[in-house]
Chain A
């Protein structure tokens, strides 16, 4: 059974906090390791695939959480949850843009942290369990659900896990308006919270990446409701 525990890596310079979180998360059924500086975290993460998810604090002396995120993302797709100062919108958005899978304001209730880690794991397992269905294709966007590879008109584009899921979710429901609540619940596997812009940032990144590859105005924001994958691209002005 030991093998089936979820392996979590905590990266935070506050050693006491790490010890406490470790105790809590282990009590909650996780297997937890802690690292207290950025350099070591990058080395560890690049050398092993042991960890199912990483909890990464942004504010660290020396190599910051964002630097760690950048270095790791360059090579690995390990799901990463960022711990940010509450209300530091800039940190939050930059983190998501660099490919963090979710964020949690700090200080947080550790129960919430456990729930978020489970959400990330559910998402990745759901993806792994998804059978290799017929590839989804729309507006020249081609999603290979098995290989989790997105191509636009034959050119491959790099999407993070959350972005790939969001795009695939919208493409499966083309023409429907999907609420932010539903998107957050189904794509990030957790409930939408107040001041929660994770989905907005993910969708905005998808739009940018698609636009860079030549596909524009296919995802529409429905003000106050959510998002919609259009059947016909909107005419730009």
Chain B
């Protein structure tokens, strides 16, 4: 299960983007240019002279055949000259194989004519042809023009070999590009994953043993990961130590205040000291809760959400005796409301949310907690009838130490909702808040029954 999650997370990120295509296109184009250049050099060897000679050979050949046919068919069998052209066409199959030429007898009787009208005299080449009966004919061709070099190269490229080379170079380019981009992608995905979850496994060893710059990068990332882990551990210890150390003087302060109180029971400053000690103690506790929630991986357990809610409401009854609370759930399927999660974190979240509801409710106004469960999730809705929150402020409420403008007079630090949100996120759940028109606040927590964040 662990590796499945890891890989599916990374596979999603293998959609190649800019770098892959850049390397691919650059390499491919480069290889094609090299091939074209090579082709050019090869074709250039085949000089214009060669081409001319070959053209004249071909043309003379065709002219001889025409003359032969002429003598054989037109003179002997009395066929018309136009039929000869048809025959030549048929024989050659394709029109473009017909070479423009003009064949005439020495006494200027035209035997054969094909596309020579527009060719000026100076571009014509004249050859003497002898027919089977040894009659001399005059054949005129258009002076051969060496085709443009790209055409020659292109004609070379229109072959099976070339398509094969074309595809092969595409494959090689893609492979090269992939071999560079894939580890980068992987390392990117790894870093992103690590940012969210420090318990992720280290960079796989096959990346480290590549022996190139990318494996250096992987090693550097591994180094960073271990440094970060150290730093987080140090931060954890520091937070724990600091809060423990803060508590010791706090305890002494409280004891001193209590001694003053023994001697001067009327001293109102002592009460102030006691209240502030209590507040500081709560703040230290919340900061500890917050850091513990963010950093320590715990093992999941079965959590009975309804039992947790009951526990929380029991405590509320003692903390806020003037606020009636009700818990509703499906009595017949109460065992359904069980999720796989972290009971302590969940308890903290519910405690903070229900505690807020009680804190901001007016005396006598009920706070309701409703638990519903489906096949995949458990939904907890906490509603109060208090002052509510301006809907524009709801997002900010989740930030540490933020407190809504209309709440500054009540006791608190602005950490409660942040802790609740962290705890819900730890369960892959969602927390939404809305302040309905008629006042109050409605908090809805959805917890999936099978959380997948845990590795």
Chain A residues at the B interface, C-beta cutoff of 8 Å: 14, 16-17, 20-21, 23-24, 27-28, 59, 85-87, 89, 106-111, 180, 192-196, 223-224
**List of A residues within 8 angstroms of B37 by Cβ:** none
Interface string of B230-256 (1 = CB under 8 A from A): 000000000000001001101110111
**List of B residues within 8 angstroms of A110 by Cβ:** 254-255, 258-259
Q: Check B244–A20 contact: CB distance below 8 A.
A: no
Task: Kindly provide the distance from the CB of B278 to the nearest chain A CB, expressed in whole angstroms.
Answer: 8
Q: Check B318–A14 contact: CB distance below 8 A.
A: no
**List of B residues within 8 angstroms of A223 by Cβ:** 307, 310
**List of A residues within 8 angstroms of B285 by Cβ:** 86-87
User: Does B315 lie at the interface of the complex (its beta carbon under 8 Å from any beta carbon of A)?
Assistant: yes
**List of A residues within 8 angstroms of B278 by Cβ:** 109
Q: Check A20–B315 contact: CB distance below 8 A.
A: no
Q: Check A14–B262 contact: CB distance below 8 A.
A: no
Bound Cα distance from A85 to B251, whole angstroms: 11
Task: Kindly provide the distance from the CB of B259 to the nearest chain A CB, expressed in whole angstroms.
Answer: 5
**List of B residues within 8 angstroms of A195 by Cβ:** 315
**List of B residues within 8 angstroms of A28 by Cβ:** 262
Task: Given A27-B259, A27-B262, A87-B285, answer yes or no on A108-B254 (Cβ-Cβ < 8 Å).
Answer: yes
Q: Indicate the member of B248, B251, B314 with the most A CB atoms within 10 Å.
A: B251
Q: Check B289–A87 contact: CB distance below 8 A.
A: yes
Bound Cα distance from A17 to B288, whole angstroms: 22
Task: Kindly provide the distance from the CB of A148 to the nearest chain B CB, expressed in whole angstroms.
Answer: 30
Task: Given A106-B247, A107-B251, A193-B318, answer yes or no on A24-B258 (Cβ-Cβ < 8 Å).
Answer: yes
Residue of B nearest to A12 (CB): B251
Q: Check B318–A107 contact: CB distance below 8 A.
A: no
24 A–B pairs (Cβ distance < 8 Å), ordered by A: A14-B252, A16-B252, A17-B248, A20-B259, A24-B258, A24-B259, A28-B262, A85-B247, A86-B285, A87-B285, A87-B289, A107-B281, A108-B254, A109-B254, A109-B274, A110-B255, A180-B314, A192-B318, A194-B315, A196-B318, A223-B307, A223-B310, A224-B313, A224-B314
Q: Which of A23, A87, A108, A194 contacts B259 (CB 8 A)?
A: A23
Task: Given A23-B259, A27-B259, A224-B310, answer yes or no on A106-B251 (Cβ-Cβ < 8 Å).
Answer: yes
Q: Indicate the member of A85, A111, A192, A194 with the most B CB atoms within 10 Å.
A: A194
Given contacts A17-B255, A110-B259, 4 further A-B contacts (CB under 8 A): A20-B259, A110-B255, A110-B258, A195-B315
Q: Check A20–B318 contact: CB distance below 8 A.
A: no
Bound Cα distance from A8 to B144, whole angstroms: 123
Task: Given A20-B256, A24-B255, answer yes or no on A14-B315 (Cβ-Cβ < 8 Å).
Answer: no
**List of B residues within 8 angstroms of A16 by Cβ:** 252
Task: Kindly provide the distance from the CB of B357 to the nearest chain A CB, expressed in whole angstroms.
Answer: 15
**Interface range, B side:** 20 to 34
**List of B residues within 8 angstroms of A27 by Cβ:** 259, 262
**List of B residues within 8 angstroms of A59 by Cβ:** 244
Q: Check B281–A86 contact: CB distance below 8 A.
A: yes
Q: Check A87–B318 contact: CB distance below 8 A.
A: no
Residue of A nearest to B282 (CB): A86
Interface string of B321-358 (1 = CB under 8 A from A): 00000010000000000000000100000000000000
Task: Kindly provide the distance from the CB of B394 to the nearest chain A CB, expressed in whole angstroms.
Answer: 28
Bound Cα distance from A195 to B255, whole angstroms: 23
**List of A residues within 8 angstroms of B315 by Cβ:** 194-195
Q: Indicate the member of A89, A106, A196 with the most B CB atoms within 10 Å.
A: A106
Task: Given A87-B289, A223-B307, A224-B314, answer yes or no on A107-B247 (Cβ-Cβ < 8 Å).
Answer: yes
User: Does B209 lie at the interface of the complex (its beta carbon under 8 Å from any beta carbon of A)?
Assistant: no
Q: Check B244–A21 contact: CB distance below 8 A.
A: no
Q: Check B254–A194 contact: CB distance below 8 A.
A: no
User: Does B228 lie at the interface of the complex (its beta carbon under 8 Å from any beta carbon of A)?
Assistant: no
Bound Cα distance from A27 to B285, whole angstroms: 30
**List of B residues within 8 angstroms of A107 by Cβ:** 247, 250-251, 254, 277, 281
Q: Check A194–B318 contact: CB distance below 8 A.
A: yes
Q: Check B318–A21 contact: CB distance below 8 A.
A: no
Bound Cα distance from A224 to B250, whole angstroms: 35
Bound Cα distance from A89 to B348, whole angstroms: 12
Q: Check A14–B251 contact: CB distance below 8 A.
A: yes
Residue of A nearest to B247 (CB): A107
Task: Kindly provide the distance from the CB of A22 to the nearest chain B CB, expressed in whole angstroms.
Answer: 9
Q: Check A109–B318 contact: CB distance below 8 A.
A: no
Q: Check A21–B255 contact: CB distance below 8 A.
A: yes
